[in-house]
Copies of this chain bind each other. A is one copy, B any other.
Amino acid sequence: VPEPFDTVAIVGVGLLGGSIGLAVRERHLARRVIGVGRPNSEPKLRDAVVLGAIDEASTDVAAGVAAANLVIVCTPVDTVAEQVLHIAKSCQPSTLITDVGSTKASIVRAIEGQLPPHITFVGSHPLAGSEKTGVRHARADLLVNKKVVVTPTDSTPAAAVTSIERFWTSLGALVDRRTPEDHDEIVAVTSHLMHLVASALAGGTSPEQLPLTASGWASMTRIAGGDPAVWLPIFRENRANILKAAAQFATTWEVCRAALEAGDFDRLGQLLAEGRERYQQATHLHNTDEPPADALGS
């Protein structure tokens, strides 16, 4: 695969697809970026052109991806595998396909062994979501210093993995390679569980209590503002892992609640200190694993 890519096609130009397009264009990583969408997405694709996220738009998937060397599928997780298999039929040989789905195992395993020869898929998941959706919120720096999990399997050609990882790195992201199954198990805790808890906290606050909500509440419920159309398929695809994460959370939660109920404030103080330490550990981790400035292309 020649790099930088001549033509990049983005299928589904929303927040993520749009941000990738903006970054590719701003960093001159491809000669042109084609935005691909369904016929009813024409207005959004026009927006994407105006906003500079794509050079041109196509509502004909086959035509849109035909010239691409790299295709990035940015549609809801339950449609990715089907899209990839469909798209692959229209791709030229040696085209690389990736995605941005928040679940990986079901997508990667559904595609594995089903592609025409010379077309390669490597699963990706940029950890850069937001409760905001749509190309209007896209930002060229959305992926800068953000993790992108890349999930090859034993049968993924090494050169394709390198190519995809280099692509994400060239957008300023930090690549973390995992198996699809490991990815799904971990993000069930670090992302999907968080969404379900946020939703329960928001829904469990009565309208009369809302006037006394402040920054703490807003922080704890912000991600519940995300689009159910994006999230419901994630819960469907990663259900077993999320149920396991929920059980893990229920245990920790009950320990905290029981300490409060028992009036055991030594124990509760310990638990608060442990939570604080884990939070600070994460903050430290993310502040120190930034790549050197030159790797950011700046």
- Interface residues in chain A, defined as those with a beta carbon under 8 Å from any beta carbon in chain B: 127-131, 146-147, 149, 176, 178, 183, 186-187, 189-191, 193-228, 231-232, 235-236, 239, 242-243, 246, 248-253, 255-257, 260-261, 263, 265, 268-269, 271-276, 278-283, 285-286, 289
Contacts and interface: CB of A to CB of B under 8 A. Distances in A.
A275 B224 contact: yes
**What's the dominant secondary structure at chain A's contact region?**
helix
Contacts of A176: 211-212
B130 A232 contact: no
Nearest to A126: B214
B129 A257 contact: no
Given A212-B187, A224-B279, A263 B239 contact: yes
Contact of A147 (B214, B224, B265): B214
Contacts of A276: 199, 202, 224-228
Q: Lowest 6 CB-CB distances: which A-B pairs, in order?
A: A199-B275, A204-B252, A127-B214, A202-B275, A228-B272, A224-B275
Nearest to A272: B228
B127 A278 contact: no
A200 B232 contact: no
Contacts of A281: 207, 210
A50 to B, nearest CB: 27
Given A176-B212, A283-B225, A200 B256 contact: yes
Given A221-B278, A224-B276, A261-B243, A212 B249 contact: no
A203 B274 contact: yes
A194 B203 contact: no
A239 B231 CA distance: 35
B260 A246 contact: yes
